Structure 1
Amino acid sequence: MFSIDNLTSVLQPEQMDSFRFRGKSLVGTLPRVFGGQVLGQALHAATATVGNDRHAHSVHAHFLRIGDIHQDINYQVDVVRDGGSFSTRSIVAEQAGKAIFHATLSFHIAESGLSHQMAMPDDIPRPDELENEADRRQRLGMPTPRFPMMALLPKATLDVRQRFPLEGVDVVHREPFQGFWFKFGEAFFGNPENQALSDSRVTHQALLAFVSDMGLLSTGIRPHTVSMSRDKIQAASLDHSIWLHAPARVDQWLYYHTDSPLAGGGRDFCRGSIFTESGILVASTAQEALIRIRNEGPDVLLS
């Protein structure tokens, strides 16, 4: 189990010099580095190289190799451009001299402009109308999910409440969309000792990026009568994009709605929208993943 102190600490890699950073990994029952962790660390590292008046508004990443949780992750940030209102950074994460991750991040000075947004999906139950995911799985005696990060984060760290939870091991056809409310521990952010983190925009962005890699890939499995927990499925996030539209606090309820317009050719395309409880769209995501049905060999899940 990881506390929010563990998580926020891990998501802030150590700065070795102006453009080099070194990160550790969450070590538990996870077989390999979780993609959301690398996204959060990369966002922290790149943000440290731009002015305080510039905030990340987009992250476009590729997962290149499996990450080893027992090795440090070395991040190299390159300055692509510093303009009058935008800055662009490229970042590569390496282990044992090989790239495991690459991303391009764009930063923008806040300004006003035309504004509109699509509405939040209809008929979404409020968080207090849904059961905490850890409590639900315990009540039903369900095994640890194939996406174990949710099981490794106690509800005091991350409270997750699913809109369309799977009620057992039986596999049935479902529409290719799902959603969940999430919120990180209020007690942590409300503690005066953590005031710097509580007010840090990049801390909230990094934690949001961490959650953004949860549930996207599995959305494309829902229409098919296969189970991530029972069948031999090789699944891996290939790329991942996040657009950060507005400041958001992760110690307040956020709703993550995901859908999968298409799966085919061994790949699964999914996208997501993250809303505040009042319906403000604060972030959008998109991801393409490898999805293969294997007749032999061990299950493989990269992120």
Structure 2
Amino acid sequence: MSNALTSLVDLLDLERVEQDIYRGDSRAAVVPRVFGGQVAAQALVAACRTVPEGRLPHSLHAYFLRPGDPGAPIVYTVDRIRDGRSFTTRRVVAVQHGQPIFHLSTSCQTFEEGLEHQVPMPEAPDPGTLPTAEDMMPRYAELFRDPEMPRRLMKAREAVDLRYVREPPFASAGQPREPRSQVWFRTNGKLDGPLDDPVMHVCLATYVSDMTLLDSVLLAHGRGGWAVGDVVGASLDHALWFHRPFRADEWLLYDQNSPTAQGGRGLGHGQIFTRDGRLVMSVIQEGIVRVPRGQR
């Protein structure tokens, strides 16, 4: 694994404080708060530590309640809501400074055979033909008000090889287009040994799922986003459904669109496919999307 991926996996390896209580480290995102995908992934790790062996998450629903403090650890308390014959339900509350900052409910299931169908995978170029972040970011350096922003963006995402199919919002400011965005992603390195288990792949994909989902909201209005300063935003809630097994260290296509934006909020919808066309995840997120005064 790369050093960055090793660091991310270590971040997800929570300390057990006592039964059903775990503690995780924090680190700053590009903005001065904890990245929402980190909190969601750590909360899912905490929940899965209490689930009977052989059961994997099939869905999670979460709310971001307060900004996370990157300078303080996060305590995760797990409530064992139900253990049924096929399904297990858990609730997790993440706390900092005595206040809840995040709430997650997840359901896990023992694998079983059933009816099968799915929508077809949308067309997308091969990820090997697309520019890496290292190739792409220098092209747009002059678009950022903060000259350090490209470096900070790359640093925040260095554990993930993420490649945009078309220009990202920060490169499309002032040019409204179809509210749809596609990225290919995989971890920056292979998982092996004890870390190569289905739960870790699910948690890593959960981490990435919060990176770009609201891009399509910005594209519809020709906004570059918080990275260029023409929008103030934050995640409000996050919902994931895990349909089929996958590996986070192999290419996944994240096809994203925005059906609506209103009231200072925008809705993002995503579907994640393996390279061979299997639909493995569905994602929905609502976020704050506000235009600063003087830029409306």
The two structures have a TM-score, normalised by structure 2, of 0.91
CA distance in 2, matches of 1:40, 1:255: 19
Q: What's 1:175 paired with? A: 178
TM-score, length basis structure 1: 0.89
CA contact (8 A) 2:173 2:223 kept: no
Residues 172, 223 of structure 2: 8 Å contact kept: no
Q: Structure 2 vs 1, CA of residues 21 and 249 (structure 1 numbering), >3 Å: closer, same or farther?
A: same
Stretches of 4+ moved more than 6 A in 1?
A: none
Q: Percent identity?
A: 39
Structure 1: gaps spanning 5 or more residues: 298-303
- 1:257 maps to which of 232, 255, 258: 255
> What corresponds to 1:221 in structure 2?
218
Contact 1:2 1:152 in 2 (8 A): no
2:48 partner amino acid: T
Contact kept, 8 Å, 2:4 with 2:188, in 1: the verdict is no
Task: Give the Cα separation in 1 of the matches to 2:126 and 2:39.
Answer: 31
- Matches of 2:115 and 2:121 in 1, distance apart? 19
The range that moved more, 140-149 or 9-18, is 140-149
Return the offset for 1:151: 4.2
SS at match of 1:287: strand
Within 2, Cα distance between the matches of 1:168 and 1:273? 23
The AA in structure 2 aligned to 1:239 is D
State the secondary structure of the residue aligned to 1:128. Answer: helix
How far apart in 2 are the matches of 1:40 and 1:242?
Answer: 11
5 Å-filtered alignment, 1:97-246, equals 97-122=98-123, 124-141=124-141, 143=144, 149-154=153-158, 157-166=159-168, 168=171, 170-186=173-189, 188-189=190-191, 194-198=192-196, 200-228=197-225, 229-246=227-244
- For structure 2, list consecutive stretches of 5 or more residues without a partner in the other structure: none
Aligned residue identity for 1:127: P
Alignment CA distance shift 1:8-1:134 (3 Å):
same
Q: Which amino acid aligns with 1:125?
A: P
Cα distance in structure 1, aligned partners of 2:85 and 2:119? 30
How far apart are the structure 1 equivalents of 2:262 and 2:31?
28
CA distance in 2, matches of 1:62, 1:170: 29
Q: Hey, what's the Cα distance between the residues in 1 that align with 2:150 and 2:61?
A: 25
CA-to-partner distance for each residue in 1:133-171, whole Å, 9 max, x for gaps? 2311124445466995554233xx321111111484652
Equivalent position of 1:54 in the other structure = 55
User: Conserved in 1, the CA contact under 8 Å of 2:38 and 2:207?
Assistant: yes
Amino acid at match of 2:214: L
Letter aligned with residue 49 of structure 2: A
